[in-house]
Amino acid sequence: MKSLIGWGVKPVDSHVNEKNDKQWSLVQKLFLGLTPGQYLGQALRNPFNWILGIIFAVGLPLIVYRFLFGLGAVTHASNDYPWGLFLGFGLFVMVPLSASGFLLGTTVEIFGRHDFEPIERLALLNGLLGYLFAVVYLLVDLGQPWRLPYPMFVSFGPAAVLFLVAWHVATYLSVQVAEVSVAFFEWIGWLGGKRFIRRIAIGLTVSGIILSTLHQGALGALFNYAPGKVHPLWFSSPFQWIHFFCSAIPAGLCMVIVVSTIIKKTMAWRCDSNFIDNLDRLTLGLAKGASMGLITYLVIKFIGVAHDNEWAYLATGWGAWFLFEMAVGVVLPIMLFAYAVRHQAVKLARIGAVFTVFGIALNRLNTALIAFNWQLYQEIPHVFEVIIAITLFAIYVVVYRFLLYRLPILYSWKALPEEAFAAEAAKAAPVKISGSPVGAMYRKID
């Protein structure tokens, strides 16, 4: 893509082409305004696509294999570890890393920090895709995925934590679709939809906070059903839900830092100056938020240990593993963030974010798999299970990239249709629209 831009090709960022004489069709927009030949060429030149190709060549047949021959064919079919990597990673790791949507929504919409707007859409998309793929992992893991709507429509177990998770994730997915649809409406050029979402933005954001608080916590509370199975250092009956909720905050914020760093390195052509120029400042802002979340998390984790008087466990091998998780995933990033914020060292903040994401992911894997059944034996996932988990993650990356390439997430959509029509009518430079009801949620058009 970089070389194409070098040759003077400009990816689509408005409804009309550069000469302002022709509207892009939907297909042309899908091809980023490139010819199919150009598009294919840039895709083939990208070595990352070849890696993806290899993953898909191995993994997609295995996914088909799983649905033809059952879960037993691709996992160890363990009755002691009913939840393997698909949920241990796909659900319990992906969901906290996707807390970004409600966090940045709250920052911008509720607290009125409009200086975070350049990264808000990325955070919303990160949230939406993370949840979507948590559901995809779930569909692969469920014994009878076609019955997923049963808790909504057929048979109700409303006293179960998972009932809450199911309803909230479903509702929250719809909320996030609505929030991200603004970018989609701009892209297809339907202003009515955009205005409607804008009108209900506060309602969407507040329901996003409620639903996130509860289902992030509920994922922790799921382990309250297994008080004897999870190692005491990773289990705290009264605080499990709040540990999960609290750690989701730095996890979501740091995931945005990590993703934006990757974008800056690999997709700079798609970002506008509003995104690129603000990114360093925003990264430090997110790092500040994340470090407050991490410090709180560290304190309440040790309150959990103190509450159940589990200090003796710290001297065991499990204790060393727990302290490693806390040191590398929580304390180290706090120190890196503190130094980074004080000395404006953005790079250190980015490294800290990587450690945080690692630390929270490790925490979820520990709770769901490694320290689960700590008195029984250690389950090592089947190699097919690992490959399918990686393949699903690769699909997630492809979808993520597909949307970032096209929708105005990293760049501002150049002109609203009225503008373009007005411009056509007046045969003049685009007219500045001020006082638009669309308002401040969207990046300044002018």
Partner 1 sequence: MSGISRRRFLAASVAGCTATALAGPRKALASGSFTGYPDSMGVLVDLTRCIGCRSCEAACNKEQQLPAPDRPFDDKSVFDETFHGGTQKRRTDENAYTVVNRYDTKDAGPVYRKVQCNHCSEPACLSSCFVNAYTKTPEGAVIYKGNVCVGCRTCMVACPFHVPAYSYSSAIDPVVKKCIFCYETRLKKGLPPACVDICPQEALTFGKRKDLIKIGQQRIQTNPGRYVNHLYGEKELGGTSWMYLSSVPFEEVGFDPTPGNEPIINHVKDFLGTVPMVLAIWPAMFTGFHLLAKKQADHDDHEHDAEKQHGDEGGEQ
Which residues in the 61-90 window bind partner 1 by CB under 8 A? Answer: 67-73, 75, 77, 79-80, 82-83
Shortest CB 1 distance to partner 1, Å = 39
Choose between 42 and 216: whose C-beta lies nearer to partner 1.
Answer: 216
Query: Applying CB under 8 A, does 211 fall inside the site for partner 1?
Result: yes
Buried b (16+ CB within 10 A) or exposed e, 400-421: bbebbbbbbbbbbbbbbeebbe
The tally of CA atoms less than 13 A away on the side-chain side of residue 2 is 7
Interface of this chain with partner 1, residues 12 to 71, rule: CB under 8 A: 67-71
- Per DSSP, the three-state class of 230 is strand
> Which one of 38-46, 204-212, 274-282, 423-431 is the stretch in contact with partner 1 (CB under 8 A)?
204-212
Buried b (16+ CB within 10 A) or exposed e, 217-241: bbbbbbbbeeeebbbbbbbbeebbb
How big is the chain by its Cα radius of gyration, in Å? 23
Q: Is 315 near partner 1 (CB under 8 A)? A: no
Q: Is 218 in the site for partner 1 (CB under 8 A)?
A: yes
Instruction: Name the minimum Å distance from CB 173 to partner 1.
Output: 14
Least spacing, CB of residue 293 vs partner 1, in Å: 17
Cβ-count burial 332-352 (b if 16+ within 10 Å, e if not): bbbebbbebbeeebbebbbbb
**160 binding partner 1? (CB under 8 A):** yes
Report the 10 Å Cβ neighbour count for 366.
21
Residue closer to partner 1, measured from CB, 224 or 278: 224
Q: What is the footprint of partner 1 within residues 162-201 (CB under 8 A)? A: 162-167, 171, 199-201
| One of 377, 427, 429, 432 touching partner 1 (CB under 8 A) | 377
Selected binder of partner 1 within 44, 227, 320, 347 (CB under 8 A)? 227
Distance CA 130, CA 136 (A): 10
Query: Between residue 230 and residue 259, which ones bind partner 1 under the rule CB under 8 A?
Result: 237-238, 240-241
Which of 7/111 has CB closer to partner 1? 111
Spatial distance between the Cα atoms of 340 and 352, rounded to a whole number of angstroms = 9
- Scan residues 88-127 and list those touching partner 1 (CB under 8 A): 106, 109-112
Interface with partner 1 (CB under 8 A), residue total 71
Q: Is 272 in contact with 408 (CB distance < 8 Å)? A: no
**Residue 230 β-bridge partners:** 372
Nearest distance from C-beta of residue 421 to partner 1, angstroms: 27
Distance CA 256, CA 119 (A): 8
Task: Please pick, from the candidates 51, 54, 57, 202, the single residue that binds partner 1 as defined by CB under 8 A.
Answer: 202
204 binds partner 1 (CB under 8 A): yes
